[in-house]
Amino acid sequence: MASQPPTNVGSTDSAMIHVEFTDLAILQQQQQQQDQRKTGAHEDADDAAPSVEARDPIYFGYYALLTHQQNMLIDSVRTSTYQSAIMQNHHVFQDALVMDVGAGSGVLSYFSAYAGARHVYAVEASNMARRIRQLLARTDTHNTFLKDRVTVVQSKVEDIKEELPKVDVIISEPIGVLLFHERMLESFVYARDKYLKPGGTIFPSSGSIFLSPFTDAILYTETMTKVRFWESTNFYGIDFSPLFDEAKDEYFAMPVVGHFDPKSLMAAPAAPYAMDFTTITREELLDLVIPFEWTVSYTGLIHGIGGWFDLVFTPPPIGDELGSTVSMSTAPNAANTHWQQVRFLLTEPLAVNAGDVVRGWLRCRVNAMRSYMIAGELVVNETPISDPADAGVTEALALHVEERPKWLAERVGSRRRGRWMLHEQTYAYSYQPNAATDAAFKPEFACMYPPSN
């Protein structure tokens, strides 16, 4: 899915039409109510999970537009990877019943039919379903291979009223920023549990999240420049300075989406956080804890955490046919995709020396904005690390900045904490790879200093 819909746009993008600024106090109140209902990380998770229904009109309105579908279709990495996964495993699709969850433009349904599927159920909740029907209505003269091969089901997969058969294959593109933004993975898993035959194929079959520390003094300075407006003591006669702390908290809670320079990474990414879509449960998707550990390569300042993901398509064996594994990456050194990467800025950079070990975690909990509230902690070397399951830390980070306990705000030289709202994304499009400048790059240009030996 697209990095959708943007709520704060840092750069002009003609495709980004729906702009909504969310009242943070309301969101924080919702999050606190959710936390009060939860007595543990996963206990009664289905009952405690905030509903996405209030967000659905905006969400499905966004995906009903051809302009946004085009943004995804012309992502050649995304589209060609799905096509390769289907066509290289055509034996999986041959004479199969297929369900396409969140079909959008219908392109995955069309690929499936082309690969020999007996019939495809294209499940699409938005009015893009009408566009699929419009295309299918012309199969006498256009795309004749689709004639009588695709049935459009205009519904969320959770709300389907008609009786549908169990299927051999479920295919979907339920992916958002950092893999899980938009909460479509829950629908993907629901479809798997209700409609997939035993031993059936689910595409994609797995995904992995990668985290790495980055340094970017320019991005940090640009963010602080926006914050410092709220230090104004005489703006047309008004003193806005009482709002400075809240403004800083708000700006730094906005994840920065955009391609970034892989040379800004201070360490190799931590071991991937793997999601096996064949086995993961909906309950597990509601509350994710992603641990990380890095050995820092350079002396310098960590300004935040960079994240991206990989997708893998591995079919189960069918008889003697093992099938082909197809994968794609959204890493900063891979080909660009519309998902880009994401960065979580720290309000205060963390100073490290080459060879230091940085440990930490991100705890990601669903919210009503079809996204996640994220709390995190980084510590250096032997500094004790908090337990991410300890509600005292994660709930305190979710509080309004003026309500947080003093111990949370106390400065510890070798520890940093942060919280971010994955739905309140801002955008940075300034980085463009350049072979000439990349070849001439030295770490000290980015204030990264390798060990003397």
Active-site positions read 173, 182
Contacts of 353 (CB under 8 A, 6+ apart): 296, 299
Q: Which residues contact 129 (CB under 8 A, 6 or more apart)?
A: 103, 122, 152, 153, 154
Report in angstroms the alpha-carbon separations of 314 from 250, 263, 333, 375: 41, 31, 23, 32
Which residue in this structure is represented by tokens 């992916």? 175
d(CA 433, CA 257): 16
- Helices 244-252 and 217-228 cross at an angle (nearest 10°) of 140
Cα 106 to chain center, whole Å? 22
Q: Which helix (H) or strand (E) holds 393?
A: helix 391-398
Helix or strand run (H / E) with residue 67: helix 66-73
> CB of 285 within 8 A of CB of 366?
yes
